[in-house]
Amino acid sequence: MFDIIGDIHGQATKLKSLLYKLGYKKTRSGFQHLKYKAIFVGDLIDRGPYQLETLTIVKEMVDNGNAYVVMGNHEFNAIGWKTNNEREADTFLRKHNYANHKQHKAFLMQIGENSQQHLYWINWFKSLPLFLDFDKIRVIHACWDSNIIRLILPYLEHNNGLKEQYIQQAFNPSSALFNYCETLLKGKEVTLPDGISYHDKEGTQRHKSRIKWWLKQADTLNELCLIPDDEKLPALEQKVKLPLDGYQEQKIVFFGHYWLTGKPSIQTNKVTCVDYSAAIESGKLVAYRWEGEEILTNKHFIY
């Protein structure tokens, strides 16, 4: 039985409060529960005020068998920020531009860029699995696509972490592995019609939108796209025919990534997101307490 916990983004105070509310006790070997284990869905870092404390709590729980964790896109991006690009001299796999630095600066400042501590945590990020696949549940940061999971397996270690020799490929846009990682860690997207755009949570203008990959049907792009409510566009209310596969398998899937708001609720009876914007002051750090049920229920959210 597991407590699946959403994106933390350096909010250690919220994390500790949630763990205590869930009944975890602080011991010499970190937080632990007699009955449950935690599963963290990634995006432990960036944005929040307590980067190192967050990482220390999570790693201690994992090391002592009290938790699991999967890689988020922010841990993946952190690897790219620190790793030299073998295809282009004097550059890194993730560009050191203004937008990327703005997103990553809280981590870099608190951890000490290029310090031994920085290298230590990057090496730990490299060891993280991209997904967990248990008997009855699956956990991934952004999107479960069984076909892509099958295709990416040759690039992975036994724990589903990315093999060191493939990191360069994972950041190369011309590589198939790049597209696999983009989907699993950042989700599926659609390009919006010409002349249509919106502004995301950070004010960046977007011409593509993340989509609700779990849907079997959507009549309009507004139904399909994950666009903030105050950015919903009348132009996207036109009726369209969209080919969707949805998620139709029996195992439950837990994921984070999507900055949801409001009262936590399941997406389908087999799929649910546990990311409710904990990175911002008004956001909630959310857990779903899974007790072996085969059908998800809103009653199991704790926050």
Instruction: Give residue-wise pLDDT tens across range 113-165.
Output: 999 999 999 999 999 999 999 999 999 999 999 999 999 999 999 999 999 99
The angle subtended at Cα 256 by Cα 99 and Cα 38, nearest 5°, is: 125
Total number of domains constituting the chain? 1
Residue at 213 is within a domain: no
DSSP assignment of 191-237 = EPPTT--EE-TTS-EESEEEB-TT-S--SSHHHHB---GGG--GGGG
Q: Specify the pLDDT at position 234.
A: 82
Q: Specify the pLDDT at position 249.
A: 94
Residue at 236 is within a domain: no
Partners of 290 in the β-ladder: 2
Residue at 83 is within a domain: yes
Residue at 197 is within a domain: no
Residue at 196 is within a domain: no
Q: Specify the pLDDT at position 193.
A: 85
Supply the pTM of this predicted model: 0.94
Residue at 241 is within a domain: no
Residue at 222 is within a domain: no
Would you write out the chain's pLDDT as a tens digit for each of its 303 residues? 999 999 999 999 999 999 999 999 999 989 999 999 999 999 999 999 999 999 999 999 999 999 999 999 999 999 999 999 999 999 999 999 999 999 999 999 999 999 999 999 999 999 999 999 999 999 999 999 999 999 999 999 999 999 999 999 999 999 999 999 999 999 999 888 888 888 777 677 888 889 999 998 888 888 898 887 776 778 788 777 777 888 999 999 999 999 999 999 999 999 999 999 999 999 999 999 999 999 999 999 999
Q: Specify the pLDDT at position 198.
A: 80
Q: Which CATH number do you get for residue 30?
A: 3.60.21.10
Q: Which domain holds residue 115?
A: 2-187+248-302
Residue at 228 is within a domain: no
